[in-house]
Structure 1
Amino acid sequence: MLKSVKVRDYMTTDLVTFSPETDLFRAIDTLIEHRISGAPVVDGEGHLLGLLSESDCLKGILSGSYFEEAGGRVESVMTVVVETIDADADIIKAGEHFIQKHRRRLPVMDEGLLVGQISRRDILRAVKAYNHHGAPK
């Protein structure tokens, strides 16, 4: 019955997020401090605008240093085409997406707003919980 488990049941809701106006070096400090490889970029109402990854930061720094203008704002380097998953999607769908698309995590949306993030580790927690509660082994 693992298919009846929803993404919302295992997603992380305490997210580090950035605004598009966040200074790039401040964002890098935050990623390092929290030991994360990326974070969603949202507007004041919680609408997902993009994602900022370590790779985006490196590209921004390297491009900026070439022109002797390292830095800038998150909006100038963030990824704007973002794959997401609905909070009511089943956990199996999320797991299949991770395998097929080689993703580590997906922003979780509910009625157009960012409400969390689901990762491969969260899927493993769901499977483990399912197996510890009487599922065939």
Structure 2
Amino acid sequence: MKVRDFMITKVFTVKPSNTVKELLLILKTNRIGGVPVVDDQGHLVGMVSDGDVLRYLTPKPIGVAGMVYIIEDGELEDVLREKLATPVKEIMTKRNIIFVSPDEDFERTMRLLSKHRFKKLPVVNGAGRVIGVISRGDVIHNLTTKIIS
């Protein structure tokens, strides 16, 4: 079995210049937890997830045993609104992006998802363009459909 047999080809992506707010709208509208970040030619430049957004938006603890939080110049809602204008390039994972090709062995992909605890992996063709994604949910769904049923 190959990745192409399990991957989703309807891929939602963002550009590094998209804002966190635009990213959140894509995630919410499509009920997904993350997307590949691509340049103008569709080449993979990063990954961004709902976890990245949460880590970015969460107030940072300071002071005694992390019990005190600083709210930067204003109320929490104002700070959050301001942070929503941040470009995705500021919060995305940029280095050591792991991806698979459509011809990759399915078994290796399962090991990557498991070992690194990724929720999804981008599928990239020989030209470096994102052509799909494969997630843990896709793997489980397709395994039950193709093997168990």
CA distance in 1, matches of 2:117, 2:110: 10
Aligned with 1:49: secondary structure? strand
Aligned length: 128
SS of residue paired to 1:86: coil
- CA deviation after TM superposition for structure 1 residue 63, in Å: 6.2
How far apart, CA to CA, are the structure 2 residues paired with 1:41 and 1:84? Answer: 12
User: Which protein shows a greater Rg?
Assistant: 2
C-alpha separation in 2, matches of 1:79 and 1:16: 17
C-alpha distance in 2 between matches for 1:55 and 1:131 = 32
> How big is each residue's C-alpha offset from its partner over 1:83-105, in whole Å with a ceiling of 9 and x where there is no partner?
11121111111112222222221
Do residues 10 (structure 1) and 25 (structure 2) align? no
Aligned-pair CA distance for 1:31? 0.9
Question: Does the 8 Å CA contact 1:56/1:77 hold for their aligned counterparts?
Answer: yes
Residue 129 in structure 1 maps to residue 139 in structure 2? no
1:59 positional shift: 3.0
Contact persistence 1:41–1:49 (CA under 8 A) = yes
Q: Which runs of 5+ in 1 are unaligned?
A: 133-137
Q: Which runs of 4+ in 1 moved over 4 A?
A: none
Aligned to 1:54: 50
Give the match for residue 136 of structure 2.
120
Indicate the percent of aligned positions where both proteins have the same amino acid. Answer: 30
**What residue in structure 2 maps to residue 40 of structure 1?**
36
* Whole-angstrom CA distance in 2 between matches of 1:131 and 1:30: 33
What corresponds to 1:66 in structure 2? 72
Match of 2:112 in 1: 97
Shift of 1:14: 0.4
* C-alpha RMSD over aligned residues: 2.2
TM-score between both structures, scaled by the size of structure 2:
0.75
